[in-house]
């Protein structure tokens, strides 16, 4: 936003929305095969306190501003650091990349961390649809949601109670019938 002062000089004021969109913009991550390869945004590299402060400021103007799950969790007081969020992402990536059929999709909504698709699940559909999808979330303390394969509206997510629960139930989650 700009305005003229009494002297006629132009004064420029920062737009928090523009600043936030630049902070979350993802660069060159189209070929990423794991979340660590997609961490190129300002919010991944800048001092953590500065990232959290900017996020808290944008949330005052726009409570639904896009942000990665780990930043929403930090702002809510449910996660202590960005490094803890990255560790969750990396552990999930290590588990899923070691299994046949799971593919990391680095592009999601702006600011998000991408998601994983279990491609073989699509074979259970009789029409085009969405494969079983794993997304990280700040919705619950297990941080992991799985959406079963579906051809219509997205089903309610299955809340996974953390990495140990994911590891123990991954074969079951991979075999869920279509919603």
Q: Is 134 domain-assigned?
A: yes
Q: Is 2 domain-assigned?
A: no
Cβ-based neighbours of 28, under 8 Å, separated by 6 or more? 40
Cβ-based neighbours of 78, under 8 Å, separated by 6 or more? 138, 141
Indicate the number of domains in the chain: 1
Task: Locate 159 and state its tokens.
Answer: 């809340």
Q: Is the pLDDT of residue 162 over 90?
A: yes
Among 70-74, 102-106, 110-114, the least confident range: 110-114
Q: Is 36 domain-assigned?
A: yes
Q: Is 9 domain-assigned?
A: no
Q: Is 99 domain-assigned?
A: yes
Structural domain span for residue 81: 14-174
Average pLDDT taken over every residue of the chain:
90
Say which residue, 107 or 131, is predicted with more confidence. Answer: 131
For residue 104, the model assigns a pLDDT of 96
pLDDT tens per residue across span 72-83 = 999 999 999 999
For residue 24, the model assigns a pLDDT of 86
- Residues, the chain: 179
Contact 128, 140 (CB under 8 A): no
Q: Is 8 domain-assigned?
A: no
Q: Is 40 domain-assigned?
A: yes
Say which residue, 1 or 166, is predicted with more confidence. Answer: 166
What is the spatial distance between Cα 87 and Cα 166, in angstroms, rounded to a whole number? Answer: 15
Question: Which contiguous run of DSSP H or E holds residue 89?
Answer: helix 82-97
Q: Is 45 domain-assigned?
A: yes
For residue 25, the model assigns a pLDDT of 83
Most confident segment among 16-20, 27-31, 103-107: 103-107
Query: Nearest-CA neighbor of 146 among 101, 123, 116?
Result: 116
DSSP line for 138-178: SSSTT-EEEE--BSSSPPPPEEE-SHHHHHHHHHHHHTPPP
pLDDT tens per residue across span 47-60 = 999 999 999 999 99
For residue 22, the model assigns a pLDDT of 87
Q: Mean pLDDT throughout 112-139?
A: 95
For residue 48, the model assigns a pLDDT of 97
């Amino acid at each position: 936003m700009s305005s003229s002062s009494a002297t006629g000089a132009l004064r420029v004021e920062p737009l928090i929305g523009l600043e936030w969109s630049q902070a979350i913009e993802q660069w060159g991550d189209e070929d990423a095969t794991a979340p660590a390869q997609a961490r190129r945004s300002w919010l991944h590299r800048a001092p953590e306190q500065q990232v959290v402060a900017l996020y808290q400021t944008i949330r005052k103007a726009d409570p639904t501003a896009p942000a990665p799950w780990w930043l929403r969790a930090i702002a809510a007081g449910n996660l202590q650091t960005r490094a803890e969020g990255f560790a969750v992402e990396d552990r999930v990536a290590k588990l899923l990349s070691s299994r046949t059929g799971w593919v990391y999709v680095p592009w999601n909504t702006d600011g998000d961390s991408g998601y994983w698709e279990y491609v073989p699940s699509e074979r259970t559909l009789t029409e085009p649809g969405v494969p079983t999808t794993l997304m990280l979330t700040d919705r619950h303390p297990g941080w992991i949601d799985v959406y079963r394969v579906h051809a219509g509206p997205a089903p309610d997510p299955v809340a996974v109670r953390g990495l140990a629960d994911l590891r123990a139930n991954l074969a079951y989650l991979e075999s869920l019938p279509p919603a």
